Chain A
Amino acid sequence: MKGISHPAHSPSAVTTLAQAHGMPLATPTVTDVYRAHRDFVWASLQRMGVRDADLPDQFQEVFIVVHRRLDSFEGRSAMTTWLFGICLRVAAGYRRKGCNKREVCISDDELSRRESPALGPEQRASQQESRALAQRVLDAMDIAKRAVLVMFEIEELSCEEISRSLGVPVGTVYSRLHAARAQFESLHQSFEPRTERRTR
């Protein structure tokens, strides 16, 4: 689980989950984990670059791993931290297989939702270029850094919210965010000149 720490002081996710479901203290089942954390897993995979078309497949990959390894989860870290690590591995495998290197099709609805209707043709083209470049940079980033960057910069979550979501200390979020922004800016600079040359 590269880049993910397991703070020993985190509350036991097993305890929390069991209490939330009114169950005696016992290892939760994969169904319990699904009910409690499906939205987190779903969003995390998107933050890590899993395309919409592949989301259901990768989502199930995550829960297959959860099912296999749930017995080994000791509750020393938050459940979301553990799940985030699984998502990282699944997303890394997904990226290695080149699934996300395929052309991305965006529906007209999605495009119109992302673009401001007030923009003129030139501004719109410029915005499309900026988006394409930002997307390329994100795709080239380290997955864990990308996820934190997306949470902070795109979803506009606060560092405290990210900390709670990932089950890591706020300081860890700050340091990861710092590293992620540095990588993003560096990659953006390296990609930008090529884009400019191509558009001229």
Chain B
Amino acid sequence: MKIPQRMSDPRSGASPEIQSGLRSLAKPRAMTEIERQLTSVAVKKIAAGTVAGAGSAALLKSGGWLAGALVVAAVATGALVRSAGPSHAPPTSPPGAAILRPVVLPTRPSRALEAVTQATAAPTAQPSPLAPVQWPAPTRAAQPRARSAHAALPVSQTPVAESPGPASAESAVALAAPTIAVGSATQGFGGRATSPNGEDPIETEAHALGEAMQLIARDPARALALLAAFDLAHPSAQLRAEREFLGFEALRALGRTDDAQLQGQRLIQRHPSSIQASRTRRLLQQMTGEVASQPSANSTPSAPATTPNP
């Protein structure tokens, strides 16, 4: 049997347009590491019977926030991860837009909560909004580390562990982390309550970020503590830029403008080319503009008191 010649080969007799067209088409790409982890988690849930729907749209819808976090991570790390957005949604936007468009975290906490609530909404029963989360055992909990999120940690607002152990604020926060109550972000793929105490670090991290994102709206101090605790427990976690951005947002929500600016500047220094850095720059400019536009107490003593920037 004669071995066929490839059409892209000039000797094949195919027209130059066909040759050129075939040569310019991209080969299928391999799975990235993040996609591997994400699909691994999804298949484990399929195997566990968590996903029983007709399609994975429900799976991905319920895990929308996780997909968003992973997209942010992928873009930040330069990986070409395609968004896991619901494919069966009406084609109101091109599919690539989901890839190229940054995941926009609303600037106001209330909108952030709405966005996350919508993303995690599922027809199944919701877990208790204050269900405690079993965190993985901190690997380096007792080692104080100079990190961005916990540098500005509201220690006084953090539940203190019973252990008489370390006196440092960071260690106390790390030990207190398992007692942090979180919201409905404990709901994982498939709309069933899951513990982030899984084997996949990316899943655990995405859970933590989703929880922190929700907490920013109603309890930014706790969100900050959660981020700091996770930062200590998982020093080699991957979604670092997103985590630092959430810390920045939590500080803004707390009205700690100076700390937020410091955090924002650190984020920009560490991840200058990330989406989070560009968003942070924009928000910092807004904050600076708001501060500049605020009338000085000395110059206008009759001006009404301004509220801190959320």
- Taking a contact as CB atoms closer than 8 A, the residue among A31, A105, A134, A181 that contacts B24 in the complex is A134
**B20 CB–A CB distance under 8 Å:** yes
Please provide the chain B residues from 64 to 104 with a CB less than 8 Å away from any CB of chain A in the complex: 67, 80, 82-88, 91, 93-100
A-B complex: 10 closest residue pairs judged by Cβ atoms: A105-B96, A134-B21, A53-B95, A60-B56, A46-B28, A103-B94, A57-B87, A131-B24, A130-B20, A130-B21
Q: Given the interface contacts A55-B82, A188-B17, does A154 sit within 8 Å of B27 by beta carbon?
A: yes
Question: With A133-B17, A152-B6 given, is the CB distance from A47 to B28 under 8 Å?
Answer: yes
CB distance from B162 to the nearest CB of A (A): 39
B86 cross-chain contacts in A, Cβ below 8 A: 57
A-binding residues in B (CB < 8 A): 1, 3-4, 6-8, 14-15, 17-18, 20-22, 24-31, 35-36, 38-40, 42-44, 46-47, 51, 53, 55-57, 59-60, 67, 80, 82-88, 91, 93-100
The number of A-B residue pairs with CB atoms under 8 Å apart is: 178
In the complex the two chains form, is A127's CB within 8 Å of B30's CB?
Answer: no
Residue of B nearest to A109 (CB): B80
Report chain A residues within 8 Å CB of B98.
53
A195 CB to nearest B CB, Å: 9
Within 8 A of B (CB), among A49-64: 51-61, 63-64
| CB within 8 Å of B: which A148-200 residues | 150, 152-156, 159, 170-171, 174, 177-178, 181, 184-185, 188, 192
Q: Smallest distance from the beta carbon of A149 to chain B beta carbons, Å?
A: 9
Q: Is A9 an interface residue (CB 8 A)?
A: no
Contact A53 B43 (CB under 8 A): no
Give the CA-CA distance A152 to B95 in the complex, in Å. Answer: 27
- Contact: A171 with B1, CB < 8 Å? yes
Q: Which of A30, A135, A184 sits near B47, CB closer than 8 Å?
A: A30
Contacts of A137 in B (CB 8 A): 21
Given contacts A34-B40, A52-B82, contact A181 B95 (CB under 8 A): no
Q: In the complex the two chains form, what is the Cα distance from A63 to B48 in whole Å?
A: 12
Nearest chain B CB to A42 CB, angstrom units: 5
Most buried by B among A31, A106, A134, A155: A134
Residue in A38, A104, A134, A155 whose beta carbon sits within 8 Å of that of B18 in the complex: A134
What is the interface of chain A, defined by CB distance below 8 A to chain B?
29-31, 34, 38-39, 42-43, 46-47, 51-61, 63-64, 67, 94, 97-99, 101-107, 109-110, 113-115, 126-128, 130-131, 133-135, 137-138, 150, 152-156, 159, 170-171, 174, 177-178, 181, 184-185, 188, 192
Instruction: Tell me whether A42 and B31 are in contact (CB under 8 A).
Output: yes
A110 contacts B6, C-beta separation under 8 Å: no
Contact A56:B35 (CB < 8 A) given known A155-B28, A177-B4, A178-B4: yes
A159 partner residues in chain B, CB cutoff 8 A:
3-4
Please report the C-alpha to C-alpha distance between residue A115 and residue B24 in the assembled complex, in whole angstroms: 7
Nearest residue (CB) in B for A60 is B56
Given A31-B47, A52-B96, A56-B35 in contact, is the A130-B17 Cβ separation under 8 Å?
yes
| CB <8 Å contact, A174 and B42 | no
Cβ contacts under 8 Å, A170 to chain B: 1
Residues of B contacting A133 with CB < 8 Å?
17, 21
| B24 near A51: Cβ-Cβ < 8 Å | no
Q: Are B7 and A181 in contact (CB under 8 A)?
A: yes
Distance between B75 CB and nearest chain A CB, rounded to angstroms: 10
